[in-house]
Amino acid sequence: MTSSPERIIPTDLRQEISRSYLEYAMSVIVGRALPDARDGLKPVHRRILYAMHELGLTPERPFRKCARVVGEVLGKYHPHGDTAVYDALVRMAQDFSMRSPLINGHGNFGSVDNDPPAAMRYTECRLQTLTSNAMLRDIESETVDFIDNFDGSQQEPVVLPARIPQLLVNGSSGIAVGMATNIPPHNLGEIVDGLIALIENPEITDIQLMQYIPGPDFPTGALIIGGSGIKEAYTTGRGSITMRGVAQIETVESRGRPDREAIIITELPYQTNKAALIERIADLVNDKKLEGIADIRDESDRDGMRIVIELKRDAYPKVVLNNLYKQTPIQANFGANMLALVNGEPQVITLRQFLQVFLDFRIECITRRTQYELKKAEDRDIILQGLLIALANLDRIIELIRRAADTPTARQEMMDSYGLLEVQADAILQMQLRRLTALEAEKIRLEHEELQAQINDLKDILAKRSRILEIIQAEAKEIRASHATPRQTIIEPGEDDLLDIDLIANEKSAILLTEQGYIKRMPVDTFEAQNRATRGKAGTKMKEDDVVQHFFTCCDHDSVLFFSDRGVVYCLKAYQIPVSSRTARGTPIVQLLPIPPAEKITSIVSVSEFTDEEYLVMLTGKGYVKKTALSAFSSIRANGLIAISLEEGDRLRWVRRAKPEDSIIIGTRQGMTIHFRTSHEQLRPLGRATRGVKSMSLKPKDELISMDIIPSQILNTISDTTEEETSEETVVPAGEGPWVLVITTGGLGKRVPVSRFRLQNRAGLGVLAIKFRKSGDKLAALRIVNADDELMIVTSRGIIIRQAINAISPQSRMATGVRVQKLDDDDAIAAVALVPPSNGEEDLEETE
């Protein structure tokens, strides 16, 4: 018998290739490379987690070999190579790849150096608590659809019933055919806050959501520079986010050589290979493309990452660090491409759309779970109703059963006689004799009543969307309370980021700079007001030989001008200074400003607005004073600007803001003060590159110690011919001020009425401001204050106290003052600053 010849179907090769490739492309897009926007998982990850759930690998159970899990996934759900499955499993267990890992790994699962994991026969795994609580709970409650696996022998979930937006929490990356996705990880607590904000305000915008979700939070920490890339990614679905490693400049001990400056890298950008980075730096040094580096070594251990880049003695640390940012992966870009499957179709979606898709899915899950629980409760209640009928007619039911020839006959007779359903009749026939006791009968009645209440509640949930949204909020908050962790990635404003100031609250801050160049910013609220003569709080962690040099308060939107002893001014926005805790050392200022090693910051001024109506008054160590228009400093280059011309051996010491009608008061170590006007007659305006005129005549071995400006509205209360005080005048009546606050290094202070300091011509000796109680005591600061002001005092060892001005008693110039801060034996008052007013309109600079 001959077989029929094969039929040849003519077809267009171009159409056939196009159709076949399109089918392949859609298979890759939907079934392999792109995550689902609902649970944030690709099929392979979803199958791994579900297989582990079926194997019972819950967080409280022992670890099982990864080979066992891979075999289960391959045999039941994912007929592909075992390497692909194991690689996906490993990534879900790596704490440097996932912000909130979904699998708890035991063994070698690779490292940030790109070391490969151990073979699957050696490693073990189980589910994380987060996975069980937030991804797999309620999966048996018909919350999601199930489909046949590849051979129809098993059922697998189409999606997992996630309780949090997992796709945003852990991110995702994948390359499909003709498209790719790259979603950054985020902080779980912030994502939950954003979800709750969307529930409470369905009209919320992407920009408004950024108040709750300020940006990605990478598992490796590091920094994000600028907010423009984040905003673009969140509002359009695509954006370039600049990541930068955390680097500090420290002095390290060299083997057999004098101590050197070194760049210490403690955190790297997301997905940066540490070993490859070190190799890249070494190649650039060998090729002479990176100058100033003497040695590179990796000192990382189990306590954390530490890459030491030792510098040559003549190198500028800031310049070397900037070159490292430019030429190595210490600074890299994360190309966010927010592409995910929405209803089976790939879509680029914004931040709000991500949360909305998840919220819609979660509403569906809660609805289906409630329907399942309602049906289960109603089925159980039907049986209880039958049992209650049987208990009410117990004797006749027993007689009926005894009389019946067989079980079907008894069932049918009960159904006919009492109107029971078949399931109720079966339940009565299966009821044990012990259920006939009065106690058991009461339990049945109570269970029936509880079920009735539960059924009514479940029906109410299904009828009211608000109830469902409340449940979603409550469950999300529960996950946040048990699994949220603090943010690891710090978002720092970028220089070209125009919108950053709109996203940063204009809070009051205290800024502290030590002698060795460590600077930090702390919220003023960190220090609550304390009583006079108490010790205060530690304001910074310092090295043994370091002391606080500058301390001032301002608002975060202010421009901060840093004046060096060389007469050069540098500028930063206050919010660009990193926030640190009270116990942190701070950031080396050379990381923020290009200050040469031999140059020191001697004065700092905060400015909210550069105007022609204000001037900067500058005072040098040798007593030369000048004033220059504030507007001359409105545009300061990155490498600084000349503020004053200095003669040989002189240095710039103090800079203050003033108006032409104001007056200036200057104090010396030995307690002398001079008070003269800043008017054009006494102090005419000069340009930046000028020296100034003489301010005060000093006694032998005396030196200038402080300077402050007295506003013009106070001057009309002062006579040019105020009589000298006698030594007996030690107390003056309390009033509303203003006052001259006088603080000594020994912790004593007082308020003296401004009127007690007569106006003089500049270049005089001045008058005495305080009578020292001890011979070794010196003047530490002079400040102009009002009765409702608050001051913050810092000691050379970093102890800070905040207290109200009115806690310090008013006294005369010849009084010794009262104790304002309790000091340790080796400590002394270093600086005084005033807390900015609540409206933030006035800014008060530091005093040294």
Residue 666 β-bridge partners: 674, 707
Asked whether the CA dihedral 417, 420, 424, 426 is positive or negative, the reply is: positive
Q: At what angle do helices 351-392 and 188-200 cross, to 10 degrees?
A: 80
Q: Which of 122, 212, 270, 624 is catalytic?
A: 122
Give the integer Cα–Cα distance in Å for 290 and 281. 8
Report DSSP state, residue 329.
Answer: T
Give the C-alpha separation, 834 to 242, whole Å.
37
Closest CA to 163 of 187, 185, 143, 182: 143
Residue at token pair 């998840």? 358
C-alpha R_g of the chain: 37
Burial class (CB within 10 angstroms; exposed 0-12, middle 13-18, buried 19+) of 439: exposed
CA–CA dist 196, 304 (Å, integer): 35
Residue 101, both tokens: 């890992």
Neighbours of 172 (CB within 10 A): 23
Structure tokens at 12: 């267009």
CA–CA distance, 149 with 157 (Å, rounded to integer): 9
Burial class of residue 364 (count of CB atoms within 10 Å of its CB; 0-12, 13-18, 19+): middle
Which one, of 207, 247, 192, 249, lies nearest residue 225 by Cα? Answer: 247
Q: Is 624 a catalytic residue?
A: no
- Find all residues with CB under 8 Å of 764, minimum gap 6, and list them: 674, 676, 696, 697
Find tokens 């919320």 and name the residue: 204
Peptide bond into 738 cis (omega under 30): yes
Count of beta carbons in the 10 Å neighbourhood of residue 515: 17
HSE toward the beta carbon, residue 674, CA cutoff 13 A: 22
**Whole-angstrom Cα distance, residue 503 to residue 492?**
11
Cβ-proximal residues to 397 (8 Å cutoff; 6+ apart), any chain: 390, 414, 418, 428
Rounded to whole angstroms, the Cα distance separating 275 from 113 reads 5
d(CA 413, CA 399): 11
| Backbone phi, psi, residue 744, to 5° | -105, 165
> Quick check: helix, strand or coil at residue 79?
coil
53/127 Cα distance (integer angstroms): 8
Q: Please give the positions annotated as active site.
A: 122
